[in-house]
Chain A
Amino acid sequence: MESKPPFADPVSVAHVGESATEALRRFHQHVLATPGLFARLCAEKEREGFVTRMVELGREHGCGFTTDDVVNGLNAARREWLERGIL
């Protein structure tokens, strides 16, 4: 895992359950630092398959979060993007 993450947290991290926040944050940094892992996630173009793959890969890399956490993260990211010009 990256010891000094170069990027700030994604907006979505702040919107998931408290227990999953740290795990998602670590996984987010790890994915951004690992192009192969990011490519595997990009290959999951459908939401359902992506959520399942996220949880699997998270577990493989020692980051425990649930499908609900990922769905909440996706919803938050989508909402934040759509509202960007309003807020």
Chain B
Amino acid sequence: MTTVDQLKGWVPIRIYWREGQPTVDWLFLGDQPLSEPFFEQSVARALRNPAQLLFRPQTPISILEEFAEMAPDLAPTGFVFHLSRCGSTLISQVLASVPCNLVVSEAPPIEHLLGARLRDPRITHAQQVVWLRGLVRALGRRRFAAEKYFYIKFDSWHLLHLSLIREAFPDTPWIFLYREPLEVLVSQRRLRGAHMLPGVVDLRLFGFVREDLATLSFDEYAARVLACICQNALRTHETSPAGRLVNFSELPGAIWGDLAEFFGADYSEEERSRMSDASRFNAKNPKVRHADDTAAKQREAGDDLRELEKAWLTDLYRELETRRLSRLWTGRMRGGGSASSRR
């Protein structure tokens, strides 16, 4: 029995450097689903079990090369990239509400791997591509017979690694989800995500140098990070027929409508109905009903945020919308999918 066989039922939860070597940390999940809004929350739940906490195989990262060579249990159905605070967790939670979907949402080992070359220059680009393929194979191992589709929701800054991700998975359809940037800035001001705290995510990824930190406010940093992500989305979208731009306003109906079609997923009427039911609840706190916060965020935005939006984001948002609407109108002219929300 190979080590890969032995790891059936185990999930990679972290890549870290142990005595200078990249190492994979595995957790037994068995029949425990990834049902929480974020991968890390499902891991935290599992780690409450003492045996699962204590018995965690640690393997050299080269194990991922073996995973990369195996036939995938579930090939990735679709990748979800996003601007942050724009409905991506709604997408992942709605998809996760039906048993035929395996959804991995912002899994830390993916972040560790994508950032590995910045941390360890010994790692080659080719290794990173193969390891990513292996990591996704390991995350996409089928643990439930009903699983047919496999989605990965990335952290928002992972869009800056899109060319690498596409190299590993050239045929996997991907979307970039965004919303009116002012509303994202307001949300980030309320509670900043990791990539909005200068230095938590490697500055070089966004094109900053350390000296920038002395002069940038948190809000300007946020605006420039969002701009960097939008620019990369536009640039990659231009050359990638596997990519689609999606506005928050298309949610939630597009998830089981146009996007399912785009991803090549065929859901039954019952599954669509379950997804529709799930969309009525707050994605990050499923005990609470979803409430549209667009108007509140627009009211909350002060002149300072509006100026930052204008300086860094308005043109990019307009370009994203122009391209998205152009596709929708072309589709309508050809008698294709609906351009409106199916809310």
Contact = CB atoms under 8 A, between A and B. Distances in A.
Interface of A: 6-12, 28, 31-33, 38, 41-42, 44-47, 50-51, 70, 73-74, 77-78, 81, 84
A6 B23 contact: no
Contacts of A81: 47, 53
A10 B55 contact: yes
Contacts of A42: 28, 30, 49, 51-52
B59 A8 contact: yes
A12 B54 contact: yes
A73 B57 contact: no
Given A33-B6, A42-B28, A81-B47, A8 B18 contact: yes
Secondary structure at the A interface, as helix, strand, loop or mixed, is helix
A77 B47 CA distance: 10
Contact of B49 (A7, A28, A45, A84): A45
Contacts of B50: 41, 44-47, 50-51, 74
Residue among A7, A8, A41, A50 facing the most chain B CB atoms (10 A cut-off): A7
The 6 A-B pairs with the shortest beta carbon distances in the complex, nearest first, are A41-B51, A7-B57, A50-B50, A8-B58, A42-B51, A6-B3
A70 B51 CA distance: 11
18 contacts: A6-B6, A6-B59, A7-B57, A10-B54, A10-B58, A28-B55, A32-B6, A33-B6, A38-B28, A38-B51, A41-B51, A41-B55, A42-B30, A42-B49, A46-B50, A81-B47, A84-B14, A84-B16
B56 interface: yes
Contacts of A84: 14, 16
A48 to B, nearest CB: 9
Interface string B51-82: 11111111110000000000000000000000
A5 B60 CA distance: 13
Given A44-B50, A84-B14, A84-B16, A8 B23 contact: yes
Nearest to A11: B58
Interface in B184-211: none
Contacts of A28: 54-55
Contacts of A74: 50, 53-54
Contacts of B60: 8
Contacts of A33: 6
Interface string B124-153: 000000000000000000000000000000
Nearest to B43: A81
A10 B203 CA distance: 33
A59 to B, nearest CB: 17
A82 to B, nearest CB: 10
A8 B58 CA distance: 5
Residue among B49, B50, B52 facing the most chain A CB atoms (10 A cut-off): B50
A84 B58 CA distance: 14
Given A50-B50, A74-B50, A32 B55 contact: yes
Nearest to B9: A35
A77 to B, nearest CB: 5
A44 B52 CA distance: 10
Given A6-B3, A33-B6, A38-B28, A50 B51 contact: yes
Contacts of B18: 8
B6 A78 contact: no
Nearest to B194: A85
A6 B99 CA distance: 33
A73 B243 CA distance: 47
